[in-house]
Structure 1
């Protein structure tokens, strides 16, 4: 049995979990609501304040989906209660960011400004023009949004310029020496 999948999920008092007949799970809480369709071989049961995830067979793929489903449902419950947050930093001379409506405008030393469409359900705040805070209730969307922003200018090892996660350790390299 999957070690992660067999652990039951406790449902906090402010959260409402509904398992529909077509194997979709709806999680509603103080910050919003999320819905996810379970894989065909996985089922979920709500018993009081406990959500249990079960699988129909012992095949390898089903075992993997069992743990995955349990983790995703747990993240949904955490998201509607606390939410998820990723902090990012922009390093480089003249590099800055600004939010205008549903667009994040990035100036990253390229010949053109970068306009990033903020996904629905995600809130981005910019402080000091170089610090980004990405918040939302869906962990996958928040993480993917942060990864997409980082991909515009990943940190480079020689000067350390680029977009990075807060607290990310960057391995610096020495440049070539003239002989």
Structure 2
């Protein structure tokens, strides 16, 4: 079993972390502020610019161990997001497929009879580098990847034609059509 929860989290300069009652974590930076409440049995401590997450001596240690590593990863992602934004690139493949972006809406032309307007949520920036290349960035890693997944679901990748919206750099299998002779 992995022991991700045992690793301490280094707190970089410009980010402050406070533990309240051992079960609530308040993370502040110049950009924003987030609060996370931990489940009972998991506590946190801040010492020497390091955050350590521990589990108590309960009867439910087996149930708390997976949550221990999960909370450690979530807090680490929040701290990393406050220092550097998370970015993901999307690629649009297909004849006539393109995207346009103004500040609040992303307009996608993906071969349907109508264009699709996608409302950009707060805390997320979407840039159209080219009409076929999108860059999604934001502080919350989960939110950035969920939005990328939602946009990819609008026109799923077709392995026979090579069309669709995909994450750039991700290996996508290209299948060959068997034709009758």
TM-score (norm 2): 0.92
Other-structure match for 1:109 = 111
User: What runs of 5+ residues in structure 1 fail to find an aligned partner?
Assistant: none
Other-structure match for 1:54 = 54
| Cα distance in 2 for residues equivalent to 1:154 and 1:22 | 44
Structure 1 residues 22 and 45 mapped into 2: Cα distance closer, same or farther (>3 Å)? closer
Give the superposition deviation at 1:35. 2.3
Give the superposition deviation at 1:95. 0.6
Q: Does 1:172 align with 2:171?
A: no
Say which SS state the counterpart of residue 160 (structure 1) adopts: coil
Other-structure match for 2:158 = 156
Q: Is the contact between residue 11 and residue 51 of structure 2 (CA under 8 Å) also seen in structure 1?
A: yes
Q: Does 1:11 align with 2:11?
A: yes
Give the superposition deviation at 1:59. 2.5
Q: Is the contact between residue 44 and residue 54 of structure 2 (CA under 8 Å) also seen in structure 1?
A: yes
User: What runs of 5+ residues in structure 2 fail to find an aligned partner?
Assistant: none
Moved more, 18-27 or 143-152: 18-27
Other-structure match for 2:78 = 76
Give the superposition deviation at 1:3. 1.0
Moved more, 96-105 or 62-71: 96-105
Of 143, 146, 151, the residue aligned with 2:145 is 143
Give the superposition deviation at 1:22. 7.6
Q: Deviations over 1:5-62 (max 9, x none)?
A: 0111111121111222382222122443322221222111111301010112353220
Q: Deviations over 1:117-175 (max 9, x none)?
A: 11111111001111110111111111111111111112110111000001111111111
Q: Provide the alpha-carbon RMSD of the alignment.
A: 1.6
| Equivalent pairs, count | 179
TM-score (norm 1): 0.93
